[in-house]
Structure 1
Amino acid sequence: MKIVDKLKKEKVSISFEFFPPKTKELEDSLFKTIEELKPINPTFVSVTYGAGGSTREKTRDIVKKIHEETNLTVMAHLTCVGHSKQEIKQILEDYKNIGIENILALRGDIPLSFDKKDIPLDGCKHAFELVSLIKDNFGDYFCIAVASYPEGHPESPNLERDIYYFKQKVEAGADFSITQMFFDNSYFYDFLDRCTKAGVNIPIIPGIMPITNFNQIRKFASLCGATIPEDVVKLFEKYADNPEETKKIGIEFATKQCEDLLKNGVKGLHFYTLNKSDATIKIYNNIKALL
């Protein structure tokens, strides 16, 4: 089923992101996580795609397995950097044959090992071109999601230009968006205001990253340009040598973040699970009275 249709029916959507595991042992662990999260009855789950297509086959295999072995609606991430348009069409045709109806269309990070000659001349340089390619070749078969950045994409010169690029993706045919992680809700609310002023009215689902390993999340945040407020940094640094306390306050922080979003009328939450269930389940149980 198309996710955009499900979003119209549900009061509040809950969804989860997974990444393709590298070993059979980790794959078994992922599907154990999926089983543990299934009782929440998520609106959808998604599977990431490595930089430059580095997890192309693994992403496809995990998406196919979730689709065939569970009752979950699954969305495949697809990045266009490093692929020719013909390759992209082949990937999409394969997903269509499998029965996948939902794609998260991304430009993707450019791998450090890439040279300009590694980027196909007939490829898509930007996400809006990928959205257009999907629409031009598959019509309305796929529900298309795109990424958005409450604090602006790291490569955007300013927030106004960032909205311009986001609107290009929407006008090309994007059905809904999932945001990059953020740790101060004011960035998300300001982003929604900018979208409204720009005439962007697709559903925008905030991406939630529970802080269970502070050094790991701080590294992720620095790479994607997400600000961690100074008082939050100090709080987690205080418990740098205490993993259990870090996880506890990380769950408390994410719970408060989600409660504030829900009380302000947000209609969905997308959890970056890092292929683990414990923190997400605890946060869900803390907020389910608001759903």
Structure 2
Amino acid sequence: METPNISIEFFPPKTPEGADKLRVVRQKLAELNPKYFSVTFGAGGSTQHGTLSTVLEIQAAGHDAAPHLSCVGGTRESIRAILQEFKDKGIRRIVALRGDLPSGYGGAGELRYASDLVEFIRQETGDWFHVEVAAYPEMHPQARSPQDDLQAFARKVQAGANAAITQYFYNPDAYFQFVDNARKLGVDVPIVAGIMPITNYTQLMRFSDMCGAEIPRWIRLKLASFGDDSASIKAFGLDVVSGLCEKLLAGGAPGLHFYSMNQAAATTAIWQRITGA
């Protein structure tokens, strides 16, 4: 098999210890030769500064890095300033998202949807940035229907997105069906599969409830049956997620985007399993 195209996501560390730990993790994951690293931010842009400093450190180490940029709570002026700063720092790739509304938050900001943000990025900066957007094979939790969600995705691409990264999922059919439906709407950009390694049952359930990702019943029951046996959870998770990645790549997925949770071991183990490296 050809070496798959991968990218890896981090979140900005909140403490000096977290930053030290992430440097070690990044060095290990850099050995997998990812196309780029992406760096998330908090609700309402609360860690936008942490995002930028993490991206700059990754760049300084010689790797391509993409900050996540949300339009929630932002004005055109504030987003214009962030884009200018990104340009000044030589950043060429952005993950453009609507972002989650923080609890108790009033309005969505001047740009309401990710498609508005992508359009604004193009108006302000032309084709300077390679723009990635989000896709939801199992439907965005706030969408009215799968069809509405698909139309919203198509609008982001029509606004100028270069590629998409999906929410994580464990049912490959959901991904392939979504890609087929997007192609029928004329969406022709690469749709990269988002991959969440399974290392911790409670954490996975919490995340999945929040973001609307479905954990198939057989996986849930099996994970629950292991109780606190973390070695069995990790071994089973490695089997499940490696198998998923192999099916996705065999079925034509253009790449894999790993939600690393700032850990190296699980992503590395999956990589070794699927590449035989």
What TM-score does the superposition give when structure 2 sets the normalisation length? 0.97
Which amino acid in 1 is paired with 2:171? D
Report the equivalent of 2:253: 266
Q: CA deviation at 1:240?
A: 2.1
Query: Structure 2 CA distance, aligned partners of 1:223 and 1:36?
Result: 29
Identity of aligned pairs, percent?
A: 40
Which amino acid in 2 is paired with 1:170? V
Name which of 52, 73, 93 aligns with 1:60: 52
> Is the counterpart of residue 91 in structure 1 residue 78 in structure 2?
no
Name which of 96, 99, 103 aligns with 2:94: 103
8 Å CA contact 1:17, 1:270 repeated in 2: yes
23-32 vs 218-227, which moves further = 218-227
> Is the counterpart of residue 244 in structure 1 residue 236 in structure 2?
no
8 Å CA contact 1:182, 1:226 repeated in 2: yes
8 Å CA contact 1:47, 1:59 repeated in 2: yes
> Is the counterpart of residue 74 in structure 1 residue 61 in structure 2?
no
Report the equivalent of 2:135: 148
Query: Structure 2 CA distance, aligned partners of 1:11 and 1:178?
Result: 19
Name which of 105, 116, 129 aligns with 1:114: 105
Q: CA deviation at 1:11?
A: 6.6
Instruction: Tell me: CA distance 1:36–1:11, structure 2 relative to 1, closer, same or farther (3 Å).
Output: closer
8 Å CA contact 1:77, 1:104 repeated in 2: yes
Which aligned runs of 4 or more in structure 1 are off by greater than 3 angstroms? none
Q: Unpaired runs of 5+ in structure 2?
A: none
Report the equivalent of 2:221: 234
8 Å CA contact 2:8, 2:258 repeated in 1: yes
Report the equivalent of 1:6: none
> Is the counterpart of residue 220 in structure 1 residue 216 in structure 2?
no
Query: Structure 2 CA distance, aligned partners of 1:177 and 1:12?
Result: 16
Query: Structure 2 CA distance, aligned partners of 1:219 and 1:185?
Result: 21
8 Å CA contact 1:11, 1:267 repeated in 2: no
Which amino acid in 2 is paired with 1:98? K
Which amino acid in 1 is paired with 2:237? G
Report the secondary structure of 2:79's partner residue.
helix
Deviations 1:92-141 (A, max 9, x none): 1001111100001000000013123xx44xx2110000001000010010
> Is the counterpart of residue 281 in structure 1 residue 277 in structure 2?
no
8 Å CA contact 2:7, 2:256 repeated in 1: yes
Report the secondary structure of 1:40's partner residue.
coil
Query: Structure 2 CA distance, aligned partners of 1:160 and 1:11?
Result: 34
Report the secondary structure of 1:281's partner residue.
helix
Q: CA deviation at 1:181?
A: 0.7
Query: Structure 1 CA distance, aligned partners of 2:144 and 2:106?
Result: 23
8 Å CA contact 2:132, 2:161 repeated in 1: yes
Name which of 43, 50, 64 aligns with 2:42: 50
Report the secondary structure of 2:31's partner residue.
helix
8 Å CA contact 1:103, 1:145 repeated in 2: yes
Q: Unpaired runs of 5+ in structure 1?
A: 1-9
> Is the counterpart of residue 181 in structure 1 residue 168 in structure 2?
yes
> Is the counterpart of residue 209 in structure 1 residue 178 in structure 2?
no
Q: CA deviation at 1:75?
A: 0.6
8 Å CA contact 2:260, 2:267 repeated in 1: yes
| Number of aligned residues | 276
Which amino acid in 1 is paired with 2:49? E
